[in-house]
């Protein structure tokens, strides 16, 4: 895919990683629509990016990914404004193991599924779409267990399974779709919740982070760009790591239905 001129939606776009992905897409001359629930911060980011990349190339949309109706309305509004959506990056996520457990399930897993389904319905060629790419942000916790974050791990494992299932759909090429996963380890963020609520064993998590290091969200965003540009990236999983480098895995789609 040539990213220039393509229309992209990035959920969780006011967070550190969402901002990095949005900015990197803008640097590739895409038109970027930032979805998030943080209205004030979204307006600030929109103004800042518009001054750098032009008002017609970036916009903020107040959107709660747990609200199915509101999510669809925001998505449809982007289509009305730009004519299409070519790239869907489902990045919205929260971490809180002690309170708002249902919300974490609804944001992390539910939001990713809703965003993917909206993109699939719009993009699929058999229903009049022009094709496109869905990039879902999972986590290292979506590939291996983390006892400090059992619920978060469950949501990210669900995202991994959902995305892999679509990627192995034998009709995915006919639909004109690609499905990819980015799985970061740990990265810096402007929002740092109370660690006593965020994880179950904070000291153990801290030791893990000290060992693995913190990734720069910009580096993770570069991996997203690589997936978008590679026309053969369907089913690709990139596990990003601050110190050990990135690891790429490929889940091949089948050629025949079963």
User: How much is the pLDDT for 193?
Assistant: 53
Q: Where are the alpha helices (DSSP H) in the chain?
A: 16-27, 39-53, 68-82, 101-104, 111-123, 150-167, 172-175, 195-198, 202-212, 217-229
Number of domains in the chain: 1
Overall average pLDDT of the 147-176 stretch:
95
Print the domain residue range for 212. Answer: 7-250
User: How much is the pLDDT for 207?
Assistant: 78
Give the HSE-up count for residue 63: Cα atoms under 13 Å, Cβ half-sphere.
32
Q: Is the pLDDT of residue 251 over 80?
A: no
More confident residue, 135 or 241: 135
Q: Is the pLDDT of residue 257 over 60?
A: no
d(CA 240, CA 107): 22
d(CA 20, CA 41): 15
- Residue 2 is assigned to a structural domain of this protein: no
Overall average pLDDT of the 84-110 stretch:
93
Quote the pTM value.
Answer: 0.91
171 is catalytic: no
User: How much is the pLDDT for 196?
Assistant: 58
- Residue 1 is assigned to a structural domain of this protein: no
- Residue 222 is assigned to a structural domain of this protein: yes
- Residue 255 is assigned to a structural domain of this protein: no
User: How much is the pLDDT for 97?
Assistant: 86
How do residues 190-204 score in pLDDT, each as one tens digit? 444 555 557 777 777
- Residue 148 is assigned to a structural domain of this protein: yes
User: How much is the pLDDT for 41?
Assistant: 96
Catalytic residue of the set 60, 71, 75, 152: 152
How do residues 111-132 score in pLDDT, each as one tens digit? 999 999 999 999 999 999 999 9
Contacts of 109 (CB under 8 A, 6+ apart): 154, 155, 158, 159, 162
The CATH number covering residue 39 comes to 3.40.50.720
Per the structure block, which two tokens stand in for 44? 């600030």
- Residue 258 is assigned to a structural domain of this protein: no
Cα-Cα-Cα-Cα dihedral sign, residues 45, 134, 181, 146: positive
- Residue 135 is assigned to a structural domain of this protein: yes
- Residue 77 is assigned to a structural domain of this protein: yes
């Amino acid at each position: 895919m040539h990213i220039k001129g393509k229309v992209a939606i990035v959920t969780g776009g006011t967070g550190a990683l969402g901002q990095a992905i949005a900015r990197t897409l803008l640097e590739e001359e895409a038109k970027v629509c930032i979805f998030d629930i943080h209205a004030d911060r979204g307006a600030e980011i929109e103004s800042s990016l518009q001054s750098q990349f032009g008002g017609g190339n970036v916009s903020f949309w107040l959107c709660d990914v747990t609200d199915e109706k509101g999510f669809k309305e925001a998505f449809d509004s982007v289509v009305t404004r730009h004519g299409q959506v070519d790239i869907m990056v489902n990045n919205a996520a929260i971490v809180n193991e002690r309170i708002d457990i249902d919300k974490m399930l609804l944001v992390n897993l539910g939001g990713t599924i809703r965003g993917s389904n909206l993109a699939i319905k719009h993009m699929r060629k058999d229903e009049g779409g022009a094709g496109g790419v869905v990039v879902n942000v999972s986590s290292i916790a979506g590939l291996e267990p983390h006892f400090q974050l059992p619920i978060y791990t469950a949501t990210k494992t669900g995202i991994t399974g959902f995305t892999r299932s679509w990627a192995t759909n034998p009709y995915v090429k006919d639909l004109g779709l690609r499905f990819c996963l980015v799985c970061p380890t740990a990265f810096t963020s402007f929002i740092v919740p109370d660690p006593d609520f965020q994880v179950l064993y904070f000291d153990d998590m801290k030791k893990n982070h000290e060992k693995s290091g913190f990734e720069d969200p910009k580096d993770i965003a570069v991996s997203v760009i690589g997936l978008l540009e590679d026309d053969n990236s369907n089913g690709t999983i990139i596990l990003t790591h601050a110190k050990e480098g990135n690891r790429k895995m490929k889940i091949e789609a089948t050629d025949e239905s079963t």
